[in-house]
Amino acid sequence: MGEQFNILVLSGGGPRGAFGAGVLLGLRDKGELPEYSMITGVSAGALIAPFVFAGGDKLDQLKEVMLGLDDESMLGGTSFFHFLFGDALSGGESFYQLVQQTYDDDFIKQIAAQYRAGKRLFIGTTHFDSGRQMIWNLGRIANSDLPNKNDLIHQILTASSSIPGVFPPQFIPVYYQGTQFEEMHVDGGLSSQLFFDPIGFDYTSFVKSLGYADAPRVYTIRNGRVQTEFEFVEDDTISLAARSVDNLIMAQTRGDIARELYITRKIGAEFYLTYIDDDFDKKPPQGKVFDKEYLQFLYEYGYNKAQQDDFWIKDLPL
């Protein structure tokens, strides 16, 4: 697993996941991509995490996959009016099919191989009925004898990125006391924008028990900003609601990063953070979400930022 215990934390961010892909491939091409012993992902980060975890040719495919996204493949070409008057912006079929095609049998076998090598991949979803975060050990599932493991992995990855109202939830079959029922799982970002820290887990002792002399390092890629961007808001219901959600997500994100920073310092780990800064001013065209030109801008911004010497910061900006 390398000479250093490195943890990679990938946040949500929707199309801004292209920034994270650019960062990772920029570091790889620069020769400074750490070997990660543990990777966690939420929402957009959940879709990126398996590529980094599997490594090799899969990391090479990350750029192609991220820049190949568009509204048709993600949303099924559904109009915005369906979002206003239907149950969800997308029926979810296009996105789920994309997940099935991307994370195929060979990909899942590579995830299982990395699990057997001692590495760990954790994906976060939100159990909607309880509102609690659920953390899935994707490598263990991939390495298991479960007959439905591929379908389960596809459901987990889809659920982690399924914003309620935009994508339908995933109903995951579970068993309790001999009875089968279904749990409703949705976007992991509803419960936490990023994570690495099971409560009460002593990483320092754990890392030392594995023979590492140095403290663990936690590398966090925030697929978005860490401060609210100023913009004039129209006085209408949709604009006000959208801005309110943006502000709530930003407050949650800063809280999650602050918690992570506190825990890394408490356990004696080293904290590294990168994000989309104020010098990025590109926006997608009106009415577009996964616009190819916008994704390309985000990717190039992340790639070029990774070339800078002061790329990582060690604190949360005020």
Give dist(CA 275, CA 224) in Å, integer: 6
Q: Which of these, 154, 53, 101, 133, lies nearest to 146 by C-alpha position?
A: 154
Q: Is the separation of the CB atoms in 174 and 156 below 8 Å?
A: no
Give dist(CA 84, CA 81) in Å, integer: 5
Residue type for position 265 = R
Give the total residue count for the chain.
318
Q: Is the separation of the CB atoms in 15 and 284 below 8 Å?
A: yes
Q: Which of these, 77, 69, 82, lies nearest to 93 by C-alpha position?
A: 77
- Residues with active-site annotation: 43, 187
DSSP code of 56?
Answer: T
Give dist(CA 142, CA 137) in Å, integer: 9
Q: Are strands 217-221 and 179-186 parallel, antiparallel or unpaired?
A: unpaired
| Cβ atoms < 10 Å from Cβ of 178 | 5
Per the DSSP assignment, residues forming a β-bridge with 185 are 127, 170
Q: Identify the three-state secondary structure at position 192.
A: coil
Tokens of 124: 């976060």
| 10 CB-near residues (< 8 Å, 6+ apart) | 20, 39, 40, 41, 42, 44, 45, 46, 48, 49, 52, 194, 221, 223
Q: Which of these, 232, 305, 263, 236, lies nearest to 30 by C-alpha position?
A: 305
Q: Identify the three-state secondary structure at position 222.
A: coil
